[in-house]
Structures are given as C-alpha cells and as structure tokens.
Amino acid sequence: MDLRQLSYFVTIVEEGTITGAARKLHISQPPLSHQMHLLEKELDAVLFIRGARQIKLTEPGIALYRYAMEMLELEQVAKDEITSLTSGARGSIRLGLVSSSASPGLYRSLARFHKTFPDVSFKVYEGNTFELLDMLEKGKIEVAILRTPFSGDGLDISPIQHDHMVAAGTSEFFNTESSLTVRDLTHHPLILYRRWSKTILNTFNREMLTPSIFCIADDARTCLQLAQVGMGIALVPCSIVSWGHGLTIRQLDELSWESRLVVVKRKSAPVSHKVEVFYNLLAKNKDR
C-alpha cells in the first residue's frame, strides 16, 4: 500500500465511480482498476461494491477512507514543513484557533510577527479545543490557541487571556441591573458552552440546585445566536459577547467560572525558529 494508491482510492470515493476518477486523474480506467485490485488483495478486503451508477463503500472501505485522508493530509504537511525549513524566513505556520479566541493580545502578536517575518503566511485551522489538541498531537498544526480546561500533559502552555463567564440574553430574561447568582439562573432556560458545561453543572449540584438546560453547544457563537432569538440565557466567556449584537449582558457572582485562553505547542516536537518566535510573542503579549 502506497500513497499513490491511497490517493487513487480517495479520488474514486469522492467521484463516486472509477470512470469519473480516471477522468479526473487523467489516466485510463484499466490501470486504475488494477491498482484498486492490488490494494484490496494486499489488505485482504473488499473496499467498495461496484454498482451500475456508483460505488458503495464497504465497512473496510469506510475505515480506509478515513485513514487515507489523514495520511494524505500528513504527506502534505510534511512537504510544507520541509519547504518551510529550507526557505528560511519564508514558509508558513500552521495555527489552530478555537472559535472563542477573541483576544486583543493574539491580534497584536500577529501584527508584530508580520512586521518581523513579512514573508511568512499562516494556515489557520478552526475547531474546538479537543479537535485542535488531536491535530496538535498528530502534527497537523504546530501551535494552537485553546480555551481551558483541558489536560496539559506533554504540552508547553502559556496563558494569554483570563476571561470570566457572563450571562447573555434578550432583555426579558433580566429584571435587575445587578449581577446574577447561581440561584437566579435556575429560573431561566440556559444555553451552555460545552467547554464549561461540566464545571457549571457541578456548581449547581454543589448548591443543590437544578438548572433548566435548553442546549449545550460546542461553539460559543452558537450559544450567542440561540440567545439572540430568545431561546435562553447563554453562559459564555466575556471576551466574545460583542459577537451577540443586541443582547443584554449581566455579570455572574460565581467567581470560579473563569476561563483562560492559552497558547500551546508540543514539548516533544521540535519547531522552526519562526514558530518559536510566534509562540513567545503570544506568551509575552498576554492581556492583563
């Protein structure tokens, strides 16, 4: 099994037919079919059923497609990394960002870095904290901006922003200008940011209170959008509430609901000079 065969296989899956894949790859159909036969023989598995109109992946085929995509992506990452290392101050940095990474310190660092390395570009990958940790572990990204809490084993971690949680909702949910207690929140449907749902629910349990949970979402922006249409009160980091236009914001009395935005890289993975400079800039330009 080689990368060329995997590339052929992925193209067949994406085109839906061997004929369509052969056309896209600019090769004739018989050699392509032969490569798939060799691949199936090596793996001792039928990868897809050839139908009249299109192929249908088998269970082994579905599994191989998932791994093939990762392997081909890592091949491109390796090529980009070598190109970056041989081009000195050129190349790119593969950066992971969580959706709630609205940190002034981050953007100040980007601007400063660009002045020092004007020929370096960025490849930005967005996802939740756990998706980006997985990409970091696999080498798909070199550095990431994540939101706590998460396990920091094997990582270099520097905080760049401390952020407290606030309540955001339409005005009918709030009848006071003062901050809200945990007990106040039990009277309204809540929209929780998954990164903090466990901590928040543990607080309710500690106070022997039962919250009304409307939704738990992976993306803080989704929480704000649901709050904007009146579905409940979103509990989100203070730094992102500006994205929720027209929402009423109230502080929370629960001081333990504090989040941190951090920059991370792998301890065990060597990085280029420009990645090291970028990481250090972020760590030094943290918001106060």
69 and 185 fall within a common domain: no
d(CA 120, CA 62): 37
Indicate the residue among 37, 58, 81 that finishes a domain.
81
Residue type, 79: K
List, for residues 245-254, the tens digit of each pLDDT value. 889 999 998 8
Mean pLDDT of 258-271: 86
Q: If you ran DSSP here, which 8-state letter would residue 252 be given?
A: B
Longest CA–CA span in the chain (Å) reads 74
For 72, counting Cβ atoms within 10 Å of its Cβ (0-12 exposed, 13-18 middle, 19+ buried), the class is: middle
Q: Phi, psi (5° rounding) for residue 141?
A: -125, 160
Q: Phi, psi (5° rounding) for residue 180?
A: -105, 145
**CA 46 to centroid of chain Cα atoms:** 33
**Is residue 84 scored above 70 in pLDDT?**
no
- Checking DSSP bridges between strand 155-169 and strand 258-266, what pairing results, if any? antiparallel
Which CATH number do you get for residue 132?
3.40.190.10
Q: Which helix (H) or strand (E) holds 145?
A: strand 143-147
Can you give the residue range of the structural domain that contains 242? 164-256
116 and 250 fall within a common domain: no
Total residue count of the chain as it appears in this document: 288
List, for residues 195-221, the tens digit of each pLDDT value. 889 999 999 999 999 999 999 998 888
Neighbouring C-beta atoms of residue 236, cutoff 10 Å: 30
Mean pLDDT of 106-121: 84
177 and 145 fall within a common domain: no
**CA 125 to centroid of chain Cα atoms:** 6
Crossing angle, helix 29-43 and helix 3-15, to 10 degrees? Answer: 110
Average model confidence (pLDDT) across the chain: 87
d(CA 259, CA 166): 11
148 and 96 fall within a common domain: yes
Look at residue 10 in the predicted model and tell me its pLDDT. 94
- Counted domains in the chain: 3
Residue type, 234: A
231 and 97 fall within a common domain: no
What's the pTM?
Answer: 0.63
Q: Which helix (H) or strand (E) holds 48?
A: strand 48-50
Residue type, 283: A
150 and 171 fall within a common domain: no
Mean pLDDT of 140-154: 88
List, for residues 7-20, the tens digit of each pLDDT value. 999 999 999 999 99
- Checking DSSP bridges between strand 189-193 and strand 233-237, what pairing results, if any? parallel
Q: Which two tokens stand for residue 156?
A: 């270099």
239 and 111 fall within a common domain: no
Look at residue 272 in the predicted model and tell me its pLDDT. 79
155 and 173 fall within a common domain: no
199 and 268 fall within a common domain: no
**Is residue 102 scored above 50 in pLDDT?**
yes
49 and 183 fall within a common domain: no
141 and 188 fall within a common domain: no
d(CA 28, CA 12): 13
SS (H, E, C) 177-240: CCCECHHHHCCCEEEEEHHHHHHHHHHHHHCCCCCEEEEEECCHHHHHHHHHCCCCEEEEEHHH
List, for residues 49-75, the tens digit of each pLDDT value. 988 788 999 999 999 999 999 888 888
Which CATH number do you get for residue 15?
1.10.10.10
Q: pLDDT grade, residue 288 (50/70/90)?
A: very low
Token look-up 């649901």 returns: 226
Residue 23 and residue 33 in contact, taking contact as beta carbons nearer than 8 Å = no
57 and 177 fall within a common domain: no
